[in-house]
């Protein structure tokens, strides 16, 4: 019997990302380069970079670039490949772009089961093709801990870029998926997950943010980010600081994956969750009446998570009519003492 993919990883999926505190400290020392063609760089911790390709006299055109890869979050190789692809594509969707090409990134043990590698690559390829994107090649490294993902390039109208720095007071905050992939995957590693709960998490992680991105196209959207490894509050922090506003989130409005609250109560918290909390907590006013298991879930690293969107109330109604799985989780206000306020 083949070994479980998740058996030998310290953290699965986006929970395997480097601590945001360490990353933030390291990036401060990297010299910034200015270039008139860079429309979105890494200064604002956005989901992807955007480079202007517009030629003199030509139609406006820009390129969106991102890269994302991680350790197995599920045991089935084909499913792992698909989730990794959906997660990487999400960054382009969060910017309002259309993914067109991808390069695969593979870390796999030299003595591993070749059939597993084949299934990982096939699962990823099928999901990339579902997005209307093509794989041009990739790079591989032999190493004991499996990792997989993609570098994705997309195209976008430079006049229609969505960033995490445009939220405005009075906006409604809409979210497009449920929270809890991190605690569910940690419950899997602990051997306490119910199969139906794991299936619900997998189904969500395999769902592209493509339709949500397309639904935003005709609307007036002020800000957008996808919620992945830094958790809901980690990515909300980036939006609040970049927009110089406060995001007021209503905890009781947030929807969770089946079993997520119970697994959080049972302590199925990854190292990534604790890293997120350590980095973000000082920016958050948390209503003391919110249960501790819910507080933890707000920092839970999400894999292939939903889009957090800031837009006027009237536009939010149109979006919600088109995206029935989406829901309102809060609002944007003028900057308060803390950039994030979580109410009951």
Residues recognised as catalytic:
14
Q: 50 φ, ψ to 5°?
A: -130, 130
Residues 64, 224: Cα–Cα separation, whole Å = 15
Q: Are 176 and 98 in contact (CB under 8 A)?
A: no
Residues 181, 228: Cα–Cα separation, whole Å = 10
Q: Are 24 and 114 in contact (CB under 8 A)?
A: no
Residues 52, 269: Cα–Cα separation, whole Å = 41
Residues 188, 73: Cα–Cα separation, whole Å = 9
Q: Within a 10 A sphere around the Cβ of 1, how many other Cβ atoms? A: 3
CA Rg value for the chain: 19
Residues 24, 282: Cα–Cα separation, whole Å = 15
Provide, for the chain, the percentages of residues in helix, strand and coil under a 3-state DSSP scheme, each rounded to the nearest 5. 35, 25, 40
Say if residue 283 is exposed, middle or buried (CB neighbours under 10 Å; 0-12, 13-18, 19+). middle
């Amino acid at each position: 019997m083949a070994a479980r993919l998740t058996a030998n990883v310290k953290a699965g999926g986006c929970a395997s990302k480097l601590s945001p505190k360490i990353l933030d400290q390291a990036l401060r020392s990297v010299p910034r380069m200015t270039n008139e063609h860079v429309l979105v760089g890494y200064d604002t911790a956005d989901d992807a970079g955007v480079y202007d390709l517009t030629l003199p006299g030509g139609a406006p055109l820009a390129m969106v670039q991102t890269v994302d890869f991680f350790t197995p979050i599920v045991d089935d190789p084909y499913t792992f490949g698909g989730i990794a692809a959906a997660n990487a594509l999400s960054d382009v969707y969060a910017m309002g772009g259309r993914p067109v090409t991808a390069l695969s990134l593979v870390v796999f043990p030299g003595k591993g089961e070749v059939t597993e590698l084949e299934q990982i690559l096939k699962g990823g390829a099928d999901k990339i093709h579902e997005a209307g994107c093509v794989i041009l090649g990739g790079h591989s490294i032999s190493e004991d801990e499996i990792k997989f993902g993609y570098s994705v390039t997309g195209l976008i109208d430079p006049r229609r870029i969505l960033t995490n720095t445009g939220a405005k007071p009075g906006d409604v905050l809409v979210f497009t998926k449920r929270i809890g992939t991190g605690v569910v995957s940690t419950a899997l590693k602990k051997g306490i997950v119910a199969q139906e709960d794991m299936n619900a998490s997998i189904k969500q992680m395999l769902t592209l943010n493509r339709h949500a991105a397309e639904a935003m196209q005709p609307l007036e959207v002020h800000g957008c980010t996808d919620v992945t490894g830094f958790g809901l509050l980690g990515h909300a922090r980036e939006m609040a600081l970049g927009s110089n506003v406060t995001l007021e989130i209503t905890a009781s409005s947030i929807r969770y994956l089946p079993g997520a609250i119970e697994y959080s109560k049972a302590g199925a918290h990854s190292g990534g969750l604790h890293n997120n909390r350590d980095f973000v907590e000082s920016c958050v006013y948390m209503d003391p009446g919110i249960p501790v298991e819910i507080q933890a879930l707000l920092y839970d690293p999400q894999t292939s998570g939903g889009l957090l969107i800031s837009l006027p109330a009237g536009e939010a109604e149109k979006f919600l009519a088109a995206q029935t799985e989406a829901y309102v989780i809060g609002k944007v206000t003028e900057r308060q003492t803390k950039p994030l306020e979580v109410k009951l």
